[in-house]
A and B are shown apart, each in its own frame.
Chain A
Amino acid sequence: MPKIQIPTPLRQYAGKQPAVEVQAGTIGDALSDLVAKHPDLRRHLYTDEGKLRAFVNVYLNDEDVRYLQKEATAVKDGDSISIVPSIAGGLN
């Protein structure tokens, strides 16, 4: 099964696990299965309108899914999916 790597701030909403295995054929399925298993994650990943939050990056292995087929990107057994909140800032 594909595995989703959970970043440290979101583990409290995922049973304190660093990674969660999901049943999925696409990235969209994988994220749906993740929030079905851990509903508290939903508001941290999605807006009220159901869109993935702008600062949440999703990578399939080492590729940004935005540059693949987004949520329709196919996944297979052994794939590693990473949820990576953005890291940025600086002076005003």
Chain B
Amino acid sequence: MLNIRRKEYEALRQHGEETYPHECCGVLLGQMGEDGARSVTSVARAGNTRTDSAHNRYNIDPKELIRIQRHGREHGQDIIGFYHSHPDHPAQWSQTDLAEAHWFGCSYIITSVEKGKAALTNAFELTGSDENDKKLVSEKIEVK
């Protein structure tokens, strides 16, 4: 379960509209509950370093992630997931998304952006114990 406020939910969807027809990407900051539920308290936009193929690839510069992580730490927030958009494609994870996902127990949000408008937004948790058995499993988004 991923809890997110309306403000942050709309902000990440809007990001996908702004970068269309390119993929947007960003970081979910908040708290991991003992029960495994994640609560987003802020979202941080990140630049997509894949300028060579930004319509179908995203990559967040680790240096930018460290900066976001440091900022979060100062405000009592952890990195609990990431978001990106799929321009003119469904809000479903791709084989590339799974192969490139390494943050176990975190949420990966995907928003489909159809002709420039944010459509469906889905969330998936990266489950498993290592690279050999990892899976992206659909999780409920609770927008408050």
Task: List residues of A whose CB falls within 8 A of some B CB.
Answer: 5, 7-9, 12, 18, 43-44, 55, 57, 59, 62, 64, 82, 84-92
A90, closest chain B residue (CB): B57
- B25 partner residues in chain A, CB cutoff 8 A: 87
Which A residues lie within 8 Å of B53 (CB)? 90
Please tell me if B4 contacts chain A, counting CB pairs below 8 Å.
no
Return the chain A residue nearest B27 by Cβ: A87
5 A-B residue pairs with CB within 8 Å: A8-B105, A9-B126, A87-B25, A87-B59, A89-B101
A60 to B102 CA separation, bound complex (whole angstroms): 21
Contact surface of B with A, Cβ cutoff 8 Å: 23, 25, 27, 32, 46, 50, 53, 56-60, 62-63, 65-67, 69, 73, 78-80, 82, 84, 86, 89, 93-97, 99-106, 108, 126, 130
- Cα distance A62–B63 in the bound complex, in angstroms: 6
Q: Across the interface, which residues of A come within 8 angstroms of B104, CB to CB?
A: 9
A15 to B95, CA, bound (A): 32
State the Cβ distance, B52 to closest chain A Cβ, in Å: 12
- Is A59 a contact partner of B94 (Cβ separation < 8 A)? no
- The majority secondary structure among interface residues of chain B is mixed
Q: Which of A62, A85, A90 is packed against the most chain B CB atoms within 10 Å?
A: A90
Distance in angstroms between the alpha carbons of A8 and B104 in the assembled complex: 8
Enumerate chain A residues within 8 angstroms of B96, measured Cβ to Cβ: 89-92
List of B residues within 8 angstroms of A59 by Cβ: 62-63, 66
Q: Point out the residues of chain A lying under 8 angstroms from B95, CB to CB.
A: 92
State A19–B103 Cα separation when bound (angstroms): 17
How many angstroms from the CA of A25 to the CA of B97 in the assembled complex?
37
